[in-house]
Amino acid sequence: MIRQNKGRVWGLARQVPVAVLVNPTGQHVQVRAPKVPWQPLHTGLVDIGKQYVNVDLKCGPDDVVRFAKDVIDEATSAFPDTLLLTHAQNLRGVWNTLTNGRIQLDSLGFGAAEPQPISKLSGLRHVRVRTAEGGETPECYGVTDDGTGQPKGLWRFLVPRVYGSTTGKPSTHSGALKGVSKLVPGEHNGKLTAPKPKAQVWNPQFIELLVAGLQDGDQPEHWAALAHELRDAAPYVRGTTVLPWPLHLAEQIEEYLLPTKITDLGSQEVLGDE
């Protein structure tokens, strides 16, 4: 869900569902929105911007669920094996069967109808991604007999089908110290360390991967591993993205829904400075 209702200067309220479809090679990326058919990303972004810029559009839950069902049917008809990635905090407010209390394993709910067994959706798998937004996933760090660190990997969690995805320390935090607390004394490399309130520290964000839908014979860790690896798939990003690449692309589409009047004004200002 792309939302432009955050009280910005133009005062318009827009809520637009978008879908990104990446083929198995990662070389063909398509985008879709209501009233915008599947097309390559570069042309789709322009069409979505033209369709929804300066438009007071509020897609309700029924519209969103109908759109989700359409794009899932279209994707599974094109590819015999399809992984559906959803972002819990972003979507569950309008697609409420993604909430913890309503989601059902190996089923997919569309509105008020009974959840549909995923086996009836040819080749579809579903991984729901939950980030640290709102403090919903735990803060984490790695502990061994020798100390603490920032491990990168895919981790089994407390219950079946739930995995954790963490990344190593990014280059932007290369100077962050390990084994140091801003608040309490500790021990690092066998030595006591005093608190360092001004120290630069970093811990990885724990991304939860719920393997919510599988086909017969599937191993959940295989699809969790694919979602985890997709965090490193963006060809234009040096580090790891918070969301798997297709979701990361979908999130960025919001940048193309800026009103043309404001963007034109910005272009005029730049030209004037030249």
Task: Residue 93: give its domain's CATH number.
Answer: 3.30.420
pLDDT score of 173 = 61
Within this chain, do residues 81 and 173 fall inside the same structural domain, yes or no? no
Query: Where in 61-216 does DSSP place strands (E)?
Result: 82-87, 107-108, 116-117, 124-130, 142-144, 147-149, 153-156, 162-166, 186-188, 191-193, 207-213
pLDDT digits (tens, 9 = 90+) for 216-252: 999 999 999 999 999 999 988 888 899 999 999 999 9
Q: Do 187 and 91 share a structural domain?
A: no
Same domain, 193 and 91: no
My answer on whether 36 and 126 are in the same domain is yes
pLDDT digits (tens, 9 = 90+) for 111-170: 888 899 999 998 999 999 999 999 998 877 777 776 666 778 999 987 899 999 998 766
Q: Bridge partners of 148?
A: 143
Instruction: Give the tens place of pLDDT for each residue, 43-81.
Output: 999 998 888 876 667 788 899 999 999 999 999 998 989
Q: Is the pLDDT of residue 34 over 80?
A: yes
Our count of domains for the chain comes to 2
State mean pLDDT over 80-109. 94
Return the exposure string of 46-59: e unless at least 16 CB atoms fall within 10 Å of the residue's CB, then b. Answer: ebbbeebbeeebeb
Same domain membership, residue 183 and residue 115: no
Task: Using the predicted structure, report yes or no on whether residue 8 has a pLDDT greater than 60.
Answer: no
Residue 173 and residue 125 share a domain? no
Of 203, 218, 250, the position where a domain reaches its end is: 203
Q: Is 271 left (phi over 0), alpha (psi -120 to 50) or beta?
A: alpha
Name the residue range of residue 256's domain: 2-168+204-273
53/183 same-domain check? no
Among 203, 218, 252, identify where a domain stops.
203
Question: 177 and 159: one domain?
Answer: no
Identify the domain boundary among 154, 178, 203.
203
Q: Which of 59-63, 184-188, 192-196, 270-274 has the lowest mean pLDDT?
A: 270-274
pLDDT at 93 over 80: yes
